[in-house]
Structure 1
């Protein structure tokens, strides 16, 4: 089935405004980095400022995600929100990751201030090596399903 076929069941392409609103309301996604063989997928919290996503990496400089992101010219990021099987949204972003110099971190306090992190990472923020990466969005596509299929609407 194509996306067009699924539109009759309530699937809709998201326009730029809907994608923008969705990204501003979310704080967690999956970063896909190129690797030998299959892509390397990293569940990660993010902040969004309207132009770019920001990720805080915690841990050593030789971690696999740091090694791969430094070597990547392009990466993919997936953000989803699933309320039910008839109400969900999904946005796929393609872009360029770039390390943010520490001299610019203070400017990101509002963007990263509300980012959700597991408690174990919050504790590690004070003792581990930290870097911030900016993900400049070059392409974005979103779809959503926000209603019952035709056969269920009149029940």
Structure 2
């Protein structure tokens, strides 16, 4: 039976992990209704902030959730060999006016992959692309190593 060792990642390990990853799952909640979507992101290790472009259609459930100023939880994870890493960021999701972006913030959005328009059934003109920042109140990383030789 495999035994696993769980450890908290340090701030440096967490930042390095987030810098290597590009995608995660963004979960939003309002009242008692949850909503989760896969996203790509940019991460500023110095400011400990996430930057994302979120694409929606005029009548999408995503747009309804975003308009309600929901609490956000971003989960980033991977598994390589017998090592599983995950980071959870919790905090408010803030919509950003593109006209108010600094040069540094624009660079962070450049780190986030562009949405793939080809996956949308609607015309590009019907899509709304909004910029968001997540400044987490809580940011924690965990590492689990599985020892299969035990």
Q: 1:120 aligns with which of 97, 101, 117?
A: 117
1:136: which partner in 2? 135
Unaligned runs of 5+ in 1: 1-7
Q: Alpha carbon RMSD of aligned pairs, Å?
A: 2.8
- Are positions 1:34 and 2:33 aligned together? no
> What TM-score do the two structures reach when normalised by structure 1?
0.76
CA distance in 2, matches of 1:119, 1:138: 30
Deviation at 1:122?
8.9
Conserved? CA contact 1:33–1:72, under 8 Å: no
- Greater relative contact order (Cα 8 A, min sep 6): structure 1 or 2? 2
Show the counterpart of 1:23.
18
2: CA distance, partners of 1:82 / 1:116: 21
TM-score after normalising by structure 2: 0.78
Q: Distance in 2 between matches of 1:26 and 1:145?
A: 17
Which residue number in structure 2 is paired with residue 9 of structure 1? 4
Name the SS of the counterpart of 2:77 in structure 1: strand
**Distance (Å, rounded) in 2 between the aligned partners of 1:35 and 1:117:** 27
User: Greater shift after overlay, 133-142 or 111-120?
Assistant: 111-120
Tell me, in whole angstroms, the C-alpha distance in 2 between the residues paired with 1:116 and 1:90.
20
2 CA distance for matches of 1:118 and 1:139? 27
Please list the CA deviations of residues 56-87 of structure 1 after superposition, one character each: whole Å capped at 9, or x if unmatched: 11233543222212323521110001123x11
Contact 2:85/2:143 (<8 A) preserved:
yes
Shift in Å at residue 115 of structure 1?
A: 2.4
Q: 1:68 aligns with which of 62, 65, 70?
A: 65
1:47 aligns with 2:46: no
Instruction: Tell me the CA shift for residue 106 of structure 1.
Output: 6.2
Structure 2 alignment gaps of length 5 or more:
none
Equivalent-residue separation in structure 1 for 2:59 and 2:74 (angstroms):
22
